[in-house]
Structure 1
Amino acid sequence: MKTVDTLNMLLISTIVQATLCLTALASPVSNGTQSVDDNNVYECEPRLHDFDSLGAWFDGVAAINCTNSHDDRRKDATIAIVGAGLSGLMTALLLDSVGVHDWEIIEASGRVGGRFRTKYVGGTDEWAEMGPMRLPYSITYKDGETLEYTEHRMVFQLVDLLNEMNNNDPKLKVDFTPWIQHHPNELLGLGTARHPDGRIPTRAEVEANAALGRPAPLNTQEYKDTKSRMDNMLKHKDVLKSVQRDVWRAHKAAMDHGLDDWSQQSMMRNVFKASENVTDAIWTASDYDVFWDEIVHNSNLAQDGSSSSLGLTDWKCIDGGFNRLSDAFLPHISDRLHLNRKIRKLESIQDSSNLTLTRLSWFASSSNRTLISKDYTYTIMAVPFTMTRFMQLHKFSSVLTRATSEAGLRFKSACKVALLFSTRFWEHGSCPIFGGYSTPPSAAIGALYYPVYGLNESRPGLIMHYRGASWGEEFVSLSDDEHVQMVLDAIVSLHGEQARDLYTGDYERLCWLQDPHTGTAWARPDVMQHRLYIPAYHTTEANTVFVGEHTAPTNAWASSAVYSAVRGAVQVLLEMGRVEEAKRINRVWMGRWVGM
């Protein structure tokens, strides 16, 4: 047992020490193929893969001491951006910001926004987010310290920029409003005890009386000891604070100290020597296999202010829905946007002067299988790998091929159903609910979210069912009607038959596995895939760069899409020899929030 404890503490201490040293000097980096000194600036050939892809690569870019290349063939390049989701839109905006205007966005669908999917239901002003619905803003710890999530500040910076570019036009302006993640009166019906009169307890009641809460799956000393050891790694305050201050250096530390090499199950079984039963009980209570994902997405963000949490996370959402953010790009990209053009083939070719180009091809129509092609100097692929797998691609390196293939980076789905009610009955009575989400007794339904806008007004309202991970795949087998009725039954189990009477019959349903232009909800990396695949995304092959939230260290959220676009824009600018422009983007977007 002493060996186990020593290894556990070693992992914790090394991660903490590495991630807290955020102000330390960056490691020596290559700044190109030409040597430099303090008094002279030379033309050189830096590439993004010269720098630390697993950590603070932006420090290496900032340190480049080179002039732009004089190769006009590359400086005057044409660029294809495949995909008009947030990462594609952001890439275009970044290129424009430094005077690179010869780009086109090619989008398979008839709209922009990708997985932003705001729906107004039943001809009302009630909007449902079928895609992203909230953004983490800050966390206040119980010791009184408040930290902003610096990674997510990039999204707020983008909104400020777009509002300025659009002169705060009310039709285009993006405003944030508070998101209520939890409300004291939300009902917790899944696995909890009941009041003597049979009532389902509220969140506040469970917090005040643990006997009403959901019991742990096991009650043995081995379970308690193993759970404590896992929590010491996953919920260590110093580690979480380092993630919030600088997720990129925290990622590097986690990779360097082996957390990408262990699944949580392997750690419990092989290091903590836990039994199969205890290992399974702890792991199945979580969403993730990999330590980094568990730390970043659950431990980092799921701070609900309860007695067992370290603090309280403050959230925001976009007033009117996330599609307002993607629509705010339209005045600036619509003249170079091609909709309903689904790329089927990407080739690397040589032109008459032996310059490498990318050739993109698409069918004339769904019935006319004649390929139409166009050549570009560079292609930036801003679509998830679930879509590139349907394309005939250039033969990339073995690592990049595996990363993009069905055997490589894994993805998960999600399903959402929004039901419209003629009144907001949940906001009335002796125990009103304003925002937050309830959990019905049905394990299949999971969470039922209440609207965070229009509170206490005389208006209709939506209740949103959300289920992800494997449930997001299993719900695909249901018809719309069956899925809707299951959700309605779950709402009735919490709120009584009045809910059935007040349901208008209007709904929206979306299972992302069925979406023809994404086929996924988010990326879910497996063990060792970060250390192996992320450097491959930083290496440009066949004049092609891959961006998108799936290529970011955080693998989810709007911030991952924005970050990946910054990385991709810097990457292609360095390939073009436009060093000064790459450094300008790097300075504006990667230098502002990191390490606050």
Structure 2
Amino acid sequence: MFLPLPAVLVALSTLCKHAAGTPAIFPVVFEPPFDAENGKIRNIKVQYTEEISGALTIAFGPCNSTSLENIHYQVGMTYIGNHELAHNNHDYDHNRPTKFVWKVPKDGVDGCLLAFSGSHLVGRSEKFTVTDAPEKRSTGTFVKGTHPMGRWFDSTEYLKQKQPEEVFVARAKTKRFGILGAGISGLFTASSNRLGGRIRTTYLNGSSPDEYQYHELGPMKLPTTHRDDETGETFPIMDHRLISQLVDVLNELNKGDPSLAIEFIPFLQNAANTPVATSRRRPDGTVPGKAEAAANPSLSDAPDFSDPSLAKLALDTLDRINGFDKTRIQAYAKDVFRAHVEAVDDGSFRVSEAHFLRQSGFDLNTADEVASTAQWRPLWAFEKVYSMASEWVTIDKGMNRLPQAFAPLVEGRIKLNTKVHGVKYNKESETLTVKHRPTGGDPKQASDTDEFDYIFNSVPFNLLRFWELPPHSSLMRRAIDRLEYDSAVRVVIQYKERFWEHLDRPIIGGCGAVNIHGIGEICYPSHGINATGPGVLLASYTTWSDARTACAMPEAEHIAYIQRAMVEIHGPIADEMWTGNYERHCWGDDEHHAGSVAAPGVAQQELYMPAYWDTEFNTVYIGEHTGFTNAWIFSALESSVRGSLQMLLDMGLVDEAKEVTRKWMGWWIKL
């Protein structure tokens, strides 16, 4: 499980090639290009024409300078060759590094890079043209010391937090990398026997994807577009374009194997006849649909507030601070990172709806009646924007096809059925020992181990709490120990026919909800509309405490409860068409996850996120729990890109980081 750097950045980038060398004049020869931007970072590449040893200093100054006394500033110093302190550069041939990191000052001037061995000039570059960097929208930061929740990424600010000696010499690429976790952000080492983590499609009754007898036990849809109902104007949800870009790359890499092709198809989120949450029923006892309830208010339950006038005032108060008009929806859809900064600045992460109402003077009962979210959930409302999308997509033949497309890329580099239970940092060698055992094996047996120079850890924090870990900082340790996780249960049922599409009021795709407790959301398949033969629907998607209660029920009892609900919703036809085939997945009981998604409580995201962006013990934490928009595939992928860049910068590989940035996040990131 020794992974070269390109394996760590699978599908992210092709590393930059070395530029051609310049003619040798000095023992140290600087390679082009000879341009730089004020306030930015870049790599310096050199070649050696002689075997020199001792203290090597690289400086910037007038091109005619021959001494360290006549320079503008020192870029950095290290020991090379056979010097007794040169062992830190053992990654390079003869302890002579060929790549360095240059943090260009904001007010730089033209000049040359100069190399000194001791006090003797041993290298001079061609003249550098130093220009001002073009203005970018981004003014955010990456780690503590500036804005704690900036617009995703600012590499210059990141490297400013480090001591000069930490980042002057770029690390060699011949390092050993371990990636823990095989969800979509990691996809390399797995405690289970499959790729994809919480992306999980179930194919009922042993069917194949081509038979379309499937539904999703994990993510099932991606919001792509908002439409203004008044003007007809549409605008994209930009962050989810990252997933489309990944799919394009995977399809290109796998173009010789049609079985690995990924194709998006429309996901029908809204349909006229999906059931609604109401206690009212049709004359035949079935549950009314959305269009019926909209046309006939008597089919909907009227709000039942203790004090209707006070409740209206409370709702208006919430709408003023957390409502969405056209402008705000577009802002979130265009740039969720900027929206995140604004949410931090306005205190949205520090209060829940109920807490805000109490602070605004409303009594406990009114605050509890009106609040639509739990007492511990912050006001950060990105999911409202997603839920208001007008167009959605899913992956034809199952979301599973996304992680499966990675299989050829990680073949021979992954250990399935391997459960990690500890990571030890070795101070002297600056390496990490990962301890693991076969999944399902004897927990008392001795651990197997693998050693790495760096690791990416995408395992959910609720599982890490039981691991042996290095002595992380207080903030990182508290994040691991305290970050909240949601629970969920999904139940999919197969019927002999797609009877819901042939009711008096046909249900053609879409998701709905009912007032039958513990059923939650119901979603009808968007694929194969009006196809003959069996069909599969998501009969119940329940979260949080209801999920824990449902999963405590014996499986047969729970399925019987859901099937009775299907009959109440659709009529006796649901019993006639019942095949007895189903699958239930309790994410809270899943030993590889112990929960569905991260659900940061009040203040947790604002407090803990900076810790994820500060590399400790050569470990970078990634995964949806470390991202901005928890619970969505985008968040996992975004964290993977961020983690890769973070590691590249820790190693001083600025050129490679810039290439990844340009390819994957160029419209957001400042580098």
TM-score range, shorter chain: 0.7 to 0.9
- Contact 2:286-2:568 at 8 Å conserved across structures: no
In structure 1, the gaps of 5 or more residues are 1-27, 90-104, 304-311
Distance 1:288 1:121, change over 3 A: farther
Distance 1:521 1:38, change over 3 A: farther
**SS of match in other structure, 1:487:** helix
Aligned equivalent of 2:475? 399
Aligned equivalent of 2:636? 561
Q: Report the TM-score, using the length of structure 1 for normalisation.
A: 0.83
Distance 1:127 1:38, change over 3 A: farther
1:49 to 133, 140, 143: 143
Distance 1:75 1:430, change over 3 A: same
1:344 to 405, 417, 421: 421
2:461 counterpart of 1:385: yes
Summarize deviations over 1:52-82 as a string: whole Å, max 9, x none. Answer: 551224344599899x977465543211100
Summarize deviations over 1:317-373 as a string: whole Å, max 9, x none. Answer: 11111110000011111121111221111111134xxx4111111136722611222
Quote the offset at 1:576 in angstroms.
Answer: 1.2
Aligned equivalent of 1:83? 181
Bigger helix fraction? 1
RMSD of aligned Cα (Å): 2.7
Aligned equivalent of 1:58? 153
Q: What amino acid sits opposite 1:522 in the alignment?
A: V
Aligned equivalent of 2:215? 128
**SS of match in other structure, 2:350:** coil
Q: What amino acid sits opposite 2:223 in the alignment?
A: P
2:303 to 203, 216, 232: 216
**SS of match in other structure, 2:582:** strand
**SS of match in other structure, 1:226:** helix
Distance 1:118 1:417, change over 3 A: same
Quote the offset at 1:146 in angstroms.
Answer: 1.6
Aligned equivalent of 2:532? 458
Quote the offset at 1:437 in angstroms.
Answer: 2.7
- Contact 2:190-2:418 at 8 Å conserved across structures: yes
CA radius of gyration, larger in: 2
Quote the Cα distance in structure 2 between the aligned partners of 1:287 and 1:342.
34
2:556 counterpart of 1:469: no
2:433 counterpart of 1:359: yes
Aligned equivalent of 1:17? none
- Contact 1:416-1:511 at 8 Å conserved across structures: yes
Quote the Cα distance in structure 2 between the aligned partners of 1:531 and 1:539.
14
2:380 counterpart of 1:256: no
Aligned equivalent of 2:585? 510
- Once superposed, which parts of structure 1, at least 4 consecutive aligned residues long, lie more than 6 Å away? 28-33, 40-43, 62-66
Summarize deviations over 1:165-212 as a string: whole Å, max 9, x none. Answer: 111632001111111112101122x33434566553220011123332
1:532 to 592, 603, 607: 607
Quote the offset at 1:561 in angstroms.
Answer: 0.4
Summarize deviations over 1:89-127 as a string: whole Å, max 9, x none. Answer: 3xxxxxxxxxxxxxxx32211111100111110133211
- Contact 2:142-2:158 at 8 Å conserved across structures: no
Quote the offset at 1:528 in angstroms.
Answer: 1.2
- Contact 2:622-2:643 at 8 Å conserved across structures: yes
- Contact 1:440-1:491 at 8 Å conserved across structures: no
2:232 to 123, 144, 155: 144
Quote the Cα distance in structure 2 between the aligned partners of 1:204 and 1:328.
40
**SS of match in other structure, 2:475:** helix
- Contact 1:79-1:376 at 8 Å conserved across structures: yes
- Contact 1:360-1:373 at 8 Å conserved across structures: yes
- Contact 1:380-1:568 at 8 Å conserved across structures: yes
Q: What amino acid sits opposite 2:151 in the alignment?
A: A
**SS of match in other structure, 2:424:** strand
Q: Report the TM-score, using the length of structure 2 for normalisation.
A: 0.74
In structure 2, the gaps of 5 or more residues are 1-38, 43-100, 115-140
2:658 counterpart of 1:583: yes
Of structures 1 and 2, the one scoring higher in RCO (CA 8 A, sep 6+) is 1
Aligned equivalent of 1:327? 404
Q: What amino acid sits opposite 1:448 in the alignment?
A: I
Q: What amino acid sits opposite 2:261 in the alignment?
A: K
**SS of match in other structure, 1:404:** helix
For these two proteins, the number of residue pairs brought into alignment is 531
Quote the Cα distance in structure 2 between the aligned partners of 1:410 and 1:42.
50
Distance 1:211 1:234, change over 3 A: farther
Quote the Cα distance in structure 2 between the aligned partners of 1:61 and 1:594.
11
- The correspondence of residues 238-257 of structure 1 with structure 2, limited to 5 A, is 238-257=327-346
- Contact 1:417-1:509 at 8 Å conserved across structures: yes
Summarize deviations over 1:263-321 as a string: whole Å, max 9, x none. Answer: 211210112x11222111112x336744444x111x21232xxxxxxxx5211111111
Quote the Cα distance in structure 1 between the aligned partners of 2:112 and 2:631.
39
Distance 1:276 1:73, change over 3 A: closer
